[in-house]
Amino acid sequence: MANHNPWPDEGNTGHIWDEDLRELDNPPPLWWMLSFYAGFLIIIFYTLYYPTIPLTNSMGEKTEGLAGWTAVNEYEEDFKVLKDWRVAKFADKEEKLAAMSVADILKDDELKSYAVATSKMLFGDYCAACHGAGGAGNPSFPVLADDDWLWGGKIAQIEASIKNGRMGNMPAKGMMGNLSDEEIDSVTDYVIALSEGTAGDDAYKAGKAVYTKGMCLACHGPAGKPLAPAGAANLTDQIWRFSGDRDDIRSVIAHGVNVKKNGEYVAGTRKAVMPSFKERLPNADVNVKRLAVYIHALGGGQ
């Protein structure tokens, strides 16, 4: 830096390095100053135009700027575009589902996978509370993902279960309601033996006789397996509709299932009601079929 300023008239600040490197005192160029002020204006405009400051108004709604824009509104608009696109894209499939019978839908692989794929949410919303996620069952609510059916695993039977609902009936203490406590005990042991494959043993002769006396075979079949699905459980497998504990099994035999007197459930009877969904489901004409196809495909469909 030199003390002597060889360029006194050019408006430099007097700071000079390396002999001739000077710091000048020029105002910024006009274009720069204009952009600078314009930047301020843009900030003010932006703050007012978009909801920059996150306030809520007295109605508890999101702050809108002068533009009336919010991210939520934009999301909703975009979502609607997507939804409309999907409706349009799948309109022909939906029409086919509405027009075709469930049996025909099953024969059409593409339509079948479409029905299955679009059922999951529906099942979660309307069925899983009772039948468990993926139809895995819950205590007192049947598994839908196996091949053990109360009302039948043919597609038309599944469709009817969903559409009209189901309600199994089992009288208390045998068909005539005339079994004694001892008889109930021995038939309970016989039923457990049926599931374990030891029912032929001499020990269960008495129980077997009670099974005949109580006319259990009218519904559960002569060998513990219903001849046709009509709501009665198969007693020869290890799948229990209720807990499968001896006490529970005995209780079902003693108090029956869905036994009512004067319109009220009697004490101790098992409640097992599948509600009818033909009015409960939105767009039921299509959705009952969709769900029937889904359940048929869970693994146990016949």
Q: In the complex, what is the shortest distance from the CB of residue 49 to ligand HEC, in angstroms, rounded to a whole number?
A: 49
Q: Which is nearer to ligand HEC, 22 or 289 (CB)?
A: 289
Q: How far is CA 26 from CA 8, 29, 89, in A?
A: 14, 9, 65
Contact set with ligand HEC (CB under 6 A): 126-127, 129-131, 141-142, 144, 149-151, 158, 161-162, 166-171, 174-175, 187, 191, 211, 214-216, 218-220, 231-233, 235, 240-242, 249, 252-253, 257, 272-275, 277, 291, 295
Which helix H or strand E contains 136, and what residues bound it?
Answer: none
Q: Of the two residues 72 and 176, which places its CB atom closer to ligand HEC in the complex?
A: 176
Residue with tokens 């045998």, as numbered in its chain:
174
Q: Which is nearer to ligand HEC, 82 or 227 (CB)?
A: 227
142-146: long-range contacts, CB 8 A cutoff, minimum separation 24: 142/241, 143/239, 144/295, 144/298, 144/300, 145/298, 145/299, 145/300, 146/239, 146/299, 146/300
Measured from the CB atom, the residue of 49 and 209 that comes closer to ligand HEC is 209
- Which of 6, 222 has the CB closer to ligand HEC? 222
Neighbours of 40 (CB within 10 A): 9
User: C-beta of 127: minimal distance to ligand HEC in Å?
Assistant: 3
Question: In this structure, how many other beta carbons lie within 10 angstroms of the beta carbon of residue 33?
Answer: 11
Query: Shortest Cβ distance from residue 215 to ligand HEC (Å)?
Result: 5
Helix (H, G, I), strand (E, B) or coil at 65: coil
Q: How many beta carbons lie within 10 A of that of residue 181, not counting itself?
A: 9
Token digits for 53? Answer: 């400051």
Min dist CB 161 to ligand HEC, Å, is 4
CB of 178 to ligand HEC, least distance (A): 10
